[in-house]
Amino acid sequence: MNKSRSLRRKIILAILAIALAMALLLYFQRTAQSELAGPYTVQYVIDGDTIAVDMGQEYAVRVRLIGVDAPESADHDETKNTSEGAIASDYMKELLGGRSVWLEYDRELKDQYGRTLAYVYLDPADRDSMAEKKLLSEGYAKVLIISPNDRHEKELRAIENAARRDGKGFWGMGFFR
């Protein structure tokens, strides 16, 4: 009887130790991902929410900005491309083209198309230099949160709401509703 009770305690303690180790691993992984990586050079802007970044590999890495969705301008199906998408893309070219950027990752690092998912910063010391914030504040994109990448959802939605209220960009043109 004592042996089975002792074995049960050992099993429970082992399970608790494993659960604690997993929780700590997840905590430290999330903390590490909130730090910025870079600097990397933007090779070119693909469209209003996707860029190609030189990360020291043989080819430029496609980076999809987390938390925003700009109108299409580079879709293979040209019927999906809009003049608003070209405006958003031009804005991103002006903002990021050829510049150094820093990346902040969230929980998922890749999307279904193999693109790296990241928040993009122009200045690692200035959290307001996030490209997503700038795009939203000008009214050239809407918030698009795809779980579990939701670290900055609250502040991105506040910026979108202010742009909508002020009639900025596509909100003022009636493109967004």
Active-site option among 84, 104, 115, 160: 115
Active-site option among 35, 58, 62, 64: 64
Q: Annotated catalytic, 160?
A: no
Q: Annotated catalytic, 64?
A: yes
Q: What number of CA atoms fall less than 13 Å from residue 49's CA on the CB side?
A: 22
CB under 8 Å, gap of 24 or more: what pairs does 149-154 form? 149/66, 149/67, 149/106, 149/107, 149/108, 149/117, 150/67, 150/106, 151/34, 151/104, 151/106, 151/119, 152/66, 152/67, 152/119, 153/67
Q: Annotated catalytic, 72?
A: yes
Catalytic residue ranges? 64, 72, 115
